[in-house]
């Protein structure tokens, strides 16, 4: 949820900025020019009704008292504009702000009350004489409610302008019906004139009940409302309202303020005036001024017509046309739209990159925590600063993706139980091996391997160059060991171009034994490898051995003799004693090394099928042939064909046998094994032990004595005892 809120805030900020920028280059709708006189308010408080001059609010803000507007605040809500000369509420005022305007556009909509007329009254007169207002005939309908009656609307000359009859059903008015002549009637007004300044309403006597004083109510209702609301319920609602909207026309002053030349149409200025004649009853002509083409505003106030293109406030579809140059604004508008669109696209792309970058950072932070980054930091603190953070956090995800061509399958070096290893080349030209664990590998195994390898500094242990925690699965970066695994070379392959010689096998055994002896006794804290096998032994370009894969390794306290844990390892290499007791000791590593040594001697896999299809283990097979004194039947042909001394082979076999003893206590330590293998590597063991003037290694002599004192090597025992006196 947090990430979502952050993304929303980021996007909101962007759109605000984008709107401001685009608004600066693309024409947009701005606030209208003021239609009121300078220094005067153009609307009542909180009201949306604009009051244009010659109307005005307050002293010196209107043309004359006929146009005075008062703001009524007696009721809650916005103030209501009141036309003071007639005391009616103003609902809307329409004026001319551009050249496309005529006399029909000068309208004022007011709220009027229903008027009552009775048979005894004869007539009701509404006189608007001498005022700048006319009752619109084309814009209103006459509505009469009540019955029985025939209502007649007449002008000043007594001519009928409109009339309608309302009859009753039975003896009462049907107030629930529509205005179809039963209890109520609705009719349009004669449109001979646009408006009248005087009208009278009368009831025809022959339709009036003379015994009772018949009274009806009438009103002129804006025509657009009655046409839009042909629904009976809406018309009935209008009939029930106390106030109804009525349309008037208003006439402006003859000329704007400060202009006295009535003969000029002022076409060279920013406004012009034109006379309209014959539109009103009893009024011959009306002079109306409008802003010229290219200008907008109110021509009845000084400098009220302004050029929106010149002043940069164009807010309509008006084609800006300067009177002198006659240049349209279409190209400029198109250019602004293009610039605005390009700006918006650039900002959109920038936002996309920003959000993408932010999400990558968030995702990498999440991966860092999930992959055990915090646990690794704790390990760094707990180890007293042994692990250098610059060494561990060296590589970025992008750097490793480039190094492996996005982890291309062609770069795969091999697969293992814990992941896939890729070959990669860094930007500095170094060739590395990158281990990408399986998704199921736990992060503690990964962290454990980083911690273990960061404590080890040995030439026969593969070197950890760094790691990456910001990917979906953590990545380990090792030095590249070019010649692959030991298993690939010693398990028979007819197509193998290069075979490991006996001398090289002894060298590999010596180097691995030395590395394990270092882990058990010479490193900062004792380390048990827990997964020694030929596939975890790599060979460099000179076929020197390097021990790898420390995912299941464990550091031990100095005084700790074993590790109680869930049984895990590789069948064929697993210590039987550990399998039974769940207690892993340093002698468990010795057992696994014994199996590797047996592989070097025989070239056989740790687990294989015999001719009958039954699985058999190398350890049992090796011990069986050793005890039967026919070991030569399973020795590797590469060992047999070489001129290897028989004594070397037998001592190496005896060492393997002792390492694979079922009792851990009967097995030698890795330090003892390392000394023994070093002795076997000598060209002649016995010459090294007896040659006069040679430097005798006490540890080597002691270990060789243990090996040669085995009951299956009595002839050598006699030789050793005779020469050791």
Q: What is the percent of the chain with per-residue pLDDT over 90, rounded to a whole number?
A: 27
Q: Out of 85-89, 263-267, 552-556, 711-715, give the one with best mean pLDDT.
A: 85-89
Q: Assess whether pLDDT exceeds 50 at residue 316.
A: no
Q: Out of 216-225, 362-371, 635-644, give the one with best mean pLDDT.
A: 216-225
For residue range 329-354, list pLDDT tens digits in order.
Answer: 678 888 888 998 999 999 999 999 99
Q: Assess whether pLDDT exceeds 90 at residue 161.
A: no
Q: Assess whether pLDDT exceeds 90 at residue 76.
A: no
The two tokens of residue 19 are 């709107």
Query: Is residue 318 assigned to a domain?
Result: no
Query: Is residue 710 assigned to a domain?
Result: yes
Stretch 73-94: mean pLDDT, rounded?
Answer: 91
397/328: higher pLDDT: 397
pLDDT confidence band for 11 (50 / 70 / 90): very low
Stretch 137-157: mean pLDDT, rounded?
Answer: 83
Asked which of 51-65, 203-217, 697-711 is least confident by mean pLDDT, the reply is 697-711
For residue range 617-634, list pLDDT tens digits in order.
Answer: 999 999 999 999 998 889
Query: Is residue 569 assigned to a domain?
Result: yes
Domain limit, last residue, from 464, 480, 496: 480
Query: Is residue 309 assigned to a domain?
Result: no
Stretch 571-584: mean pLDDT, rounded?
Answer: 88
- What lies within 8 Å, CB to CB, of 700 at 6+ separation is 675, 676, 678, 679, 688
Stretch 144-170: mean pLDDT, rounded?
Answer: 81
Domain shared by 49 and 21, yes or no: no
Between strands 56-57 and 68-72, the pairing is: parallel
pLDDT at 241: 77
Stretch 240-250: mean pLDDT, rounded?
Answer: 87
Domain shared by 448 and 509, yes or no: no
How many whole angstroms separate alpha carbon 238 and alpha carbon 227? 12
Query: Is residue 271 assigned to a domain?
Result: no
pLDDT at 93: 92
For residue range 402-440, list pLDDT tens digits in order.
Answer: 999 999 999 998 886 677 899 999 988 999 999 888 765
pLDDT confidence band for 715 (50 / 70 / 90): very low
pLDDT confidence band for 130 (50 / 70 / 90): confident
67/455: higher pLDDT: 67
E-only strand ranges, 208-294: 215-222, 243-250, 271-280, 283-291
CATH of the domain at 111: 2.60.120.1380
pLDDT confidence band for 109 (50 / 70 / 90): very high
Domain limit, last residue, from 94, 117, 146: 94
The three-state (H, E, C) secondary structure of 323-341, written as one string: CCCCCCCHHHHHHHHHHHH
Domain shared by 80 and 133, yes or no: no
Q: Bridge partners of 676?
A: none
Domain shared by 88 and 228, yes or no: no
653/124: higher pLDDT: 653
570/30: higher pLDDT: 570
Q: Assess whether pLDDT exceeds 70 at residue 573.
A: yes
Asked which of 125-129, 394-398, 711-715 is least confident by mean pLDDT, the reply is 711-715
How many whole angstroms separate alpha carbon 623 and alpha carbon 629? 10
Q: Out of 99-103, 232-236, 270-274, 465-469, give the one with best mean pLDDT.
A: 465-469
E-only strand ranges, 254-337: 271-280, 283-291, 296-297, 305-306
Question: What contacts 24+ positions apart, CB below 8 Å, involve 489-496?
Answer: 489/539, 490/534, 490/599, 490/600, 490/603, 490/636, 491/534, 491/599, 491/603, 491/604, 491/605, 492/603, 492/636
Spatial contact of 485 and 537, defined as CB atoms under 8 Å apart: yes
Query: Is residue 664 assigned to a domain?
Result: yes
Domain limit, last residue, from 439, 464, 480: 480
pLDDT confidence band for 31 (50 / 70 / 90): very low
Inter-helix orientation angle 502-517/646-659, to 10° = 30
The two tokens of residue 580 are 């039974």
Average pLDDT value for the chain: 77
Structural domain that includes position 74: 30-94
Domain shared by 403 and 493, yes or no: no
How many whole angstroms separate alpha carbon 335 and alpha carbon 338? 5
Domain shared by 540 and 509, yes or no: yes
First-to-last C-alpha distance (Å) of the chain: 83
Q: Assess whether pLDDT exceeds 50 at residue 190.
A: yes
CATH of the domain at 440: 3.30.200.20
Query: Is residue 627 assigned to a domain?
Result: yes
Stretch 533-560: mean pLDDT, rounded?
Answer: 82
* Active-site amino acid positions: 531
Asked which of 135-139, 141-145, 567-571, 642-646 is least confident by mean pLDDT, the reply is 642-646
Domain shared by 120 and 50, yes or no: no
Query: Is residue 511 assigned to a domain?
Result: yes
Domain shared by 177 and 232, yes or no: yes
Domain shared by 63 and 183, yes or no: no
Helix, strand, coil % in the chain, rounded to nearest 5: 35, 25, 40
Domain shared by 85 and 129, yes or no: no
372/307: higher pLDDT: 307
pLDDT confidence band for 103 (50 / 70 / 90): confident
Residue burial 594-618, b: 16+ Cβ < 10 Å; e: rest: bbbbbbbbbbbbbeeeeeeeeeebb
pLDDT at 493: 63
pLDDT confidence band for 500 (50 / 70 / 90): confident
308/721: higher pLDDT: 308
- Kindly report the CA angle at 569 between 568 and 575, in degrees rounded to 5? 100
Stretch 67-74: mean pLDDT, rounded?
Answer: 92
The two tokens of residue 381 are 């603190």
Q: Assess whether pLDDT exceeds 50 at residue 166.
A: yes
pLDDT at 448: 73
Q: Assess whether pLDDT exceeds 80 at residue 221.
A: yes
Domain shared by 129 and 242, yes or no: yes
Q: Assess whether pLDDT exceeds 50 at residue 1.
A: no
Q: Out of 297-301, 318-322, 354-358, give the one with best mean pLDDT.
A: 354-358
pLDDT confidence band for 110 (50 / 70 / 90): very high
pLDDT confidence band for 544 (50 / 70 / 90): very high
Asked which of 67-71, 92-96, 123-127 is least confident by mean pLDDT, the reply is 123-127
Between strands 198-203 and 123-127, the pairing is: antiparallel
Domain shared by 579 and 693, yes or no: yes
How many whole angstroms separate alpha carbon 567 and alpha carbon 570? 10
pLDDT at 80: 93
pLDDT at 211: 57
- Domain total for the chain? 5
pLDDT confidence band for 142 (50 / 70 / 90): confident
């Amino acid at each position: 949820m947090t990430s979502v809120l952050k993304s929303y805030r980021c996007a909101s900020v962007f759109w605000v900025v984008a709107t401001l920028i685009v608004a600066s280059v693309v024409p947009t709708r701005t606030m209208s020019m003021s239609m009121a006189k300078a220094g005067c308010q153009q609307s009542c408080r909180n009201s949306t009704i604009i009051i244009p001059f010659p109307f005005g609010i307050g002293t010196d803000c209107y043309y004359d008292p006929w146009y005075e507007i008062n703001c009524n605040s007696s009721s809650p809500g916005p103030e209501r504009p009141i036309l003071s000369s007639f005391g009616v509420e103003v609902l809307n005022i329409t004026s001319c702000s551009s050249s496309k305007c005529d006399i029909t556009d000068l309208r004022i909509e007011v709220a009027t009350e229903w008027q009552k007329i009775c048979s005894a009254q004869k007539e009701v007169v509404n006189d608007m004489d001498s005022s700048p207002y006319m009752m619109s005939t084309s814009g209103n309908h006459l509505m009469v409610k009540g019955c029985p009656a025939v209502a007649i609307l007449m002008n000043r000359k007594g001519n009928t302008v409109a009339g309608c009859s309302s009859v009753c059903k039975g003896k009462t008015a049907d107030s629930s019906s529509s205005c179809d002549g039963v209890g109520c009637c609705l009719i349009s007004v004669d449109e001979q004139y646009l408006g009248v300044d005087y009208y009278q309403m009368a009831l025809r006597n022959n339709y009036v009940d003379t015994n009772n004083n018949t009274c009806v109510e009438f009103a002129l209702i804006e025509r657009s409302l009655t046409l839009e609301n042909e629904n009976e319920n809406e018309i009935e609602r209008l009939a029930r309202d106390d106030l109804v909207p009525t349309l008037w026309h208003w006439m402006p002053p003859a000329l704007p303020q400060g202009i006295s030349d009535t003969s000029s149409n002022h076409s060279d200025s920013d406004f012009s005036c034109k006379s309209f004649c014959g539109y009103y009853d009893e009024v011959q002509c009306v002079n109306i001024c409008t802003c010229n083409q290219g200008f907008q505003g109110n021509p009845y106030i000084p400098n009220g017509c302004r050029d929106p293109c010149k002043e940069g406030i164009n807010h309509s579809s008006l084609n800006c046309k300067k009177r002198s140059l006659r240049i349209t604004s279409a190209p400029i508008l198109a250019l602004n739209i293009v610039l605005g669109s390009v700006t918006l696209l650039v900002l959109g792309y920038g936002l996309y990159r920003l959000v993408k970058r932010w999400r990558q950072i968030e995702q990498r932070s999440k991966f860092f925590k999930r992959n055990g980054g915090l646990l690794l930091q704790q390990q760094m603190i707990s180890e007293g600063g042994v692990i250098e953070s610059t060494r561990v956090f060296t590589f970025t995800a992008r750097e490793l993706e480039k190094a492996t061509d996005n982890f291309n399958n062609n770069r795969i070096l091999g697969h293992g139980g814990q992941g896939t290893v890729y070959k990669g080349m860094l930007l500095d030209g170094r060739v590395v091996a990158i281990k990408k664990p399986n998704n199921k590998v736990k992060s503690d195994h990964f962290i454990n391997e980083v911690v273990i390898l960061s404590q080890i500094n040995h030439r026969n242990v593969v070197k950890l160059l760094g790691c990456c925690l910001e990917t979906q699965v953590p990545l380990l970066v090792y030095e590249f060991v070019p010649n692959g695994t030991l298993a690939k070379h010693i398990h028979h392959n007819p197509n193998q171009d290069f075979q490991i010689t006996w001398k090289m096998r002894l060298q590999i055994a010596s180097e691995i034994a030395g590395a394990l002896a270092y882990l058990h006794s010479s490193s900062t804290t004792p380390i048990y490898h827990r997964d020694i096998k030929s596939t975890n032994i790599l060979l460099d370009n000179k076929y020197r051995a390097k021990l790898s894969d420390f995912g299941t390794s464990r550091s031990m306290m100095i005084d700790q003799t074993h590790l109680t844990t869930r049984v895990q390892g590789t069948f064929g290499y697993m210590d039987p004693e550990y399998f039974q007791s769940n207690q892993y000791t340093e002698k468990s590593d010795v057992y696994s090394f014994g199996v590797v040594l047996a592989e070097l001697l025989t070239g056989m896999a740790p687990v294989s099928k015999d001719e009958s299809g039954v699985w058999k283990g190398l350890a049992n097979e090796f011990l069986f042939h050793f005890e039967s004194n026919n070991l030569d039947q399973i020795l590797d042909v590469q060992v047999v064909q070489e001129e290897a001394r028989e004594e070397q082979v037998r001592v190496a076999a005896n060492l393997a046998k002792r390492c694979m003893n079922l009792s851990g206590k009967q097995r030698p330590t890795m330090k003892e094994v390392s000394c023994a293998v070093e002795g076997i590597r000598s060209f002649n063991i016995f010459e090294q032990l007896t040659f006069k003037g040679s430097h005798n290694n006490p540890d080597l002599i002691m270990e060789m004595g243990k090996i040669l004192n085995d009951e299956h090597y009595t002839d050598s025992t006699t030789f050793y005892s005779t020469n050791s006196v």
